[in-house]
Structure 1
Amino acid sequence: MSSIITLGEIMARFSTDKGTPLSQANQLLVHYGGSEANVAVSLANFGHDVSFASFLPENPLGLGAKRYIESFGVSTRMVTFRGERLGTYYLETGAGVRKPNVVYDRAHSSFSTAKELPWSFDELFEGRDLFHITGITTALSQNWLSLVVTLLEEAKKRNVTTSFDINYRTKLWSQEECGNALKKILPYIDILSAGILDAKYLMGIELQEYTLENVYAEILKGYPNIEVIYSTNRTVYTSEHNSLVGNIYRKGRLTTSKLFDIPNIIDRVGGGDAFTAGVLHKYVTAQDEDDIELINFATAASVLKHTISGDMSLFSFREVEEFVKHTSNEISR
């Protein structure tokens, strides 16, 4: 299997019970999560040698977050203790026609206030096959934007494959800020998670017809270094019932997964990260495999994440493969 490193912020998530508005809650369920950490855990569950780099406070919450991802086999050798606070966010769980809502409380966290990297670039990237990071980390500060660009430059100098999920969050930065950052980041990216709205509103791509195939071809005109672009199309019927399709574009060809129906959703948060991990797993282990196999696997990984609580997907490679082959509710005997 491959050696992979991700870098980002892990936070504590406080969630309401379904049917309880956040303003009325008198108890909350706690999970640990964060986009790059979620991807790291999924890839470790798929059998890869995965390291996670981050900053945490040396207090019970920070130690709890560190021990949690360690329990899934993720190396935390490059988790550094600094600062005094773990970032948090609050999730008002959706119900029926009422969609979920997130409230961030991550300002002045140990991660967001970091000014420099305590690790050498050789420590981070020596022997690595892949480096994954997201726009969430990039959005935290101008300093983090500069650090991310530098990290990507150094990874490419060492021939490490780079993966970037735009993961745009309106509560973290504006479209203009994100668009300007992408101009600095995308020249260093090999694998990109982006959809039509990202291309239209963040990259400023103008087309007569906004189809995925047209959009992805246009992105590659500006950034021919990108080898793979991927995304999902989600249809929301209610908060508990969605359907999902995955897409991947490489070598000038768009491939779309089969349609997965997801009734009775337990927890949608982290579904995109599970999808990303599925794409990356197949990319590094089966590059010659038909893209339909890749995208069906990645979409299935995301669908399974919807069936468990918390930010992180806890399914193994074999469990996802089995789900793709035998999508039913029959008991596995």
Structure 2
Amino acid sequence: MNKKVLSFGELLLRICPGGDWLRDNSLPFYIGGAEANVATALALWGLPSVYFTVVPDNAMTREISEWLEEKGVDISRILYQGERLGLYYLPQGKDLKNAGVIYDRAHSSFSALKPGVIDWDAVLRDIGWLHFSAISPALNSCVAAVCTEMLQAATQKGITISVDLNYRAKLWQYGVAPTDVMPALTEYCHLVMGNLWAAEKMLGIPVDTSLVDTDTKKDYLEHAWLTSEQIMQNFPNVRFVANTFRFDHGEKGIRYYTSLYTEKTLYHSKEYISASILDKVGSGDCYIAGLIYGLHRGRPVQDTLEFATAAAYQKLFIPSDATNQPAEVIEKFMHSYER
């Protein structure tokens, strides 16, 4: 428990145009970035959480770093260099997979990273768990190479590694497909999280197209078992495979549940149903943070899965990129929820 969890990825500002923003001269914003969301959640829940990113050295980024530190995140390893902070524009309530998302990340400090620059011995000092996502290698070939460099260093130190296979079509624009990059990175990982369709996009593991037609929880979970088995066969270091299932059925509302596969067993969570939600961004980050929280603390698998799922579901009703729900609030909700 004295070992720390390090989250690596680009710190972003999320700008939220909505309503009559142009005439009101008002653009709400949130601190964003998938891995920053994980880092703040873990710190909120009492784990020793470190965040490593690269940002320009200016008054605004120093203030953001101080804000993260106030949240309990260790920011001592942040690298200050380069020209600008990355941005993205997305109205509240929309999904990052939505075609309307606008990225403004070219030439950011993080996207300008090159191999051979970072002292990984220093960055990974006293780290027991490393988390990253498929968003970073989606930026360009140099950042993908930095990810490889990081994973090799972490593996040499015996660090547990998790990856979120979040797919962002608008980011994979440098002439390679995700399947040309992500399998080699997944080779180093112990926990792989995503969904059936992300596994297809990122790792080339096909999804049965008839699933959408039958649209039953039983069929989705059976496919999760098959996909998880295939991932473990292809990537021998993987010990856990997690899948999220979130479906918007219009008037019937939102359905949300998850699964976690390990040691030939597929665990699945209770199912959450709601007529509507507030903000889709960051739910997956909250989920992977919940898994890391439970597994790092040695909690039983089913208990870990239920906590992570409840945390992710609760995030759907929080108007920001990251959760603000303490662990005890999530625990109370998860034990009291009945459908």
TM-score if structure 2 supplies the norm length? 0.87
Residue correspondence of structure 1 range 62-77 to structure 2 within 5 A: 62-77=61-76
- Who is 1:14 aligned against? 15
Task: Give the number of aligned pairs.
Answer: 321
2:294 and 2:102 map into 1 onto residues whose CA distance is 34
Query: Retained in 2: the 8 A contact 1:267–1:306?
Result: yes
Q: Aligned-pair distance for 1:101? A: 3.2
Partner SS for 1:83: coil
Partner SS for 1:188: coil
| The 10-residue stretch of structure 1 (161-170 or 54-63) with the greater mean CA deviation from structure 2 | 54-63
- Who is 2:218 aligned against? none
Q: Aligned-pair distance for 1:212? A: 0.9
- Who is 1:232 aligned against? 244
- Who is 1:43 aligned against? 42
Which residue identity does 2:305 align to in structure 1?
A: I
Which residue identity does 1:247 align to in structure 2?
A: S
Residue correspondence of structure 1 range 158-307 to structure 2 within 5 A: 158-173=157-172, 177-206=177-206, 211-238=223-250, 241-287=253-299, 289=300, 291-307=301-317
| The 10-residue stretch of structure 1 (277-286 or 262-271) with the greater mean CA deviation from structure 2 | 262-271
Query: Retained in 2: the 8 A contact 1:265–1:306?
Result: yes
Query: Retained in 1: the 8 A contact 2:242–2:259?
Result: yes
Partner SS for 1:101: coil
Partner SS for 1:92: coil
Query: Retained in 1: the 8 A contact 2:93–2:277?
Result: no
Q: Aligned-pair distance for 1:26? A: 4.3
Partner SS for 1:200: helix
Q: Aligned-pair distance for 1:94? A: 4.3
Distance 1:48 1:61, change over 3 A: same
Q: Aligned-pair distance for 1:125? A: 1.8
Q: Aligned-pair distance for 1:243? A: 2.1
Distance 1:118 1:243, change over 3 A: same
Distance 1:143 1:26, change over 3 A: same
- Who is 1:326 aligned against? 336
Q: Aligned-pair distance for 1:198? A: 2.5
Partner SS for 2:137: helix
Query: Retained in 1: the 8 A contact 2:93–2:279?
Result: no
User: RMSD value over aligned CA atoms?
Assistant: 2.5
Query: Retained in 2: the 8 A contact 1:248–1:254?
Result: yes
- Who is 2:112 aligned against? 113
**Can you list the C-alpha shifts for 1:234-273, whole angstroms capped at 9, x where unaligned?**
0113499522101101111111100112344222211110
**Can you list the C-alpha shifts for 1:41-80, whole angstroms capped at 9, x where unaligned?**
0011111111111111122331232122111110111112
| The 10-residue stretch of structure 1 (315-324 or 260-269) with the greater mean CA deviation from structure 2 | 260-269
Query: Retained in 2: the 8 A contact 1:10–1:65?
Result: no
Which residue identity does 1:326 align to in structure 2?
A: S
Structure 1: gaps (5+ residues) = 329-333
Residue identity over aligned pairs, in percent, reads 27
Which residue identity does 1:200 align to in structure 2?
A: E
Partner SS for 2:172: coil
Which residue identity does 1:309 align to in structure 2?
A: P
Query: Retained in 1: the 8 A contact 2:92–2:319?
Result: no
1:240 and 1:182 map into 2 onto residues whose CA distance is 36
Distance 1:137 1:53, change over 3 A: same
1:219 and 1:302 map into 2 onto residues whose CA distance is 23
Which residue identity does 2:15 align to in structure 1?
A: F
TM-score if structure 1 supplies the norm length? 0.89
